[in-house]
Structure 1
């Protein structure tokens, strides 16, 4: 399966199940960019979760998303923002003019990119002193619910290689991308879900089984059982943090 198609048919679950980002992330990016009328390219922008947060703080946002389902969903939910521009490009070929943005972001997405080609494209589209932020919402993996969830995915989901695209294994790749000159910021962002929200979050993952896949029903049964074991007052809390890698290239 090509990376562009991994989220086809999952846009609805993505909107309803995927978490947002702490206000501190937007404040960090705004402070570090230091522009009067800041412009950003949100690469792999999906359904516009990060884009929306930045738009609400006065940014002009170019949401670059190659997957048609995800891009159309973003266009629908962000239609009220005149500063939002939807672009059917890729990380390696954004279709944006040169030196046109002050910040490039990739939220939950860098692990899908050709890093060398993305780096060249960042250099092309960034204005002078532009910044790049690679962002992940990352489960705190020593939490009991997270450990058990990982075991369920390993048992049923052939495309599961770890949470957040195997973020722990991306350290060298991130370092090479930034020429080992970057800063890391971590923000607490624990996530509280109802049963429906929790299941939709699971179904929005790139590795999630669909109804057509063998093992779909027992996978959902196992996740429902996990929810039952950890729920309090009809909700579960999943320990999570938002990690930002900030630098230039």
Structure 2
């Protein structure tokens, strides 16, 4: 992970913590059924950010390494989970986690793998995993079947030149099979959603690294967002739908 990737979210921590979607709690049961996850497993949450994915494992009783190179993100995580004794936050990267070799039972990366140097983190993941360890990669994908999300995607393509270059959609299933190599891969998708008023919708938009934050300097952009929101809002709320894609290896 290069320096520019690490710093992309520095000025978005508040919006990220408040308005990014959480992950379906069903993920824990899914991992219990598919790979035998239990409370004794040591988990490394790579690119943990403010802890949206870390929380799943802390509440399950797992000891968790939260690996996050961005200081502001890491401090937010530590503040939010300061009462948990089963958390160790590391100022480290996916390519150099600083974790002892051969001790991690589960590597988890939520909404972060597309930022990693794949060759370097593949080597690092192999180093820190136990012999029978597992890797789980997860993304909250905007639901492509939803009419609002289809129009929102078109909006991003028209307004944000950098959107396509940094989108996690640049990584497909074949790329992940190549990354996992000889390890078998299972993909499971779960529905997920947020109910957003206009303020929280704009916060959700601003939490994306590619989106201009300053409304005054991007008035037309934000006016169009208001128009899009109003078109689909019911009782001044929209349902922001996702499919949570889970890759288990």
TM-score by length of 1: 0.92
1:113 shift after superposition: 0.6
TM-score by length of 2: 0.92
Matches of 1:86 and 1:43 in 2, distance apart? Answer: 10
Please, which runs of 5 or more residues in structure 1 have no aligned partner?
Answer: none
1:95 shift after superposition: 1.0
Contact kept in structure 2, 1:138 and 1:164, CA below 8 Å: no
Matches of 2:32 and 2:104 in 1, distance apart? Answer: 13
Structure 2 counterpart of 1:133: 136
Matches of 2:216 and 2:8 in 1, distance apart? Answer: 14
Matched, 1:123 2:126: yes
Change (3 A) 1:146 1:36: closer
Alignment of 1:45-194 (within 5 A): 45-161=48-164, 165-166=168-169, 169-179=171-181, 181-194=184-197
Change (3 A) 1:224 1:212: closer
Contact kept in structure 2, 1:40 and 1:103, CA below 8 Å: yes
Runs of 4+ in 1 over 4 A off after TM superposition: none
Matches of 1:86 and 1:80 in 2, distance apart? Answer: 13
Q: 1:226 aligns with which of 228, 238, 242?
A: 228
Please, which runs of 5 or more residues in structure 2 have no aligned partner?
Answer: none
Contact kept in structure 1, 2:21 and 2:193, CA below 8 Å: no
Contact kept in structure 1, 2:58 and 2:87, CA below 8 Å: yes
Q: Deviations over 1:49-100 (max 9, x none)?
A: 0101211111111110111111111111111111111101001001111112
Equivalenced residue count is 245
Change (3 A) 1:175 1:208: same
Q: Deviations over 1:156-177 (max 9, x none)?
A: 222201895115x422221111
Contact kept in structure 1, 2:39 and 2:60, CA below 8 Å: no
Moved more, 138-147 or 91-100: 138-147
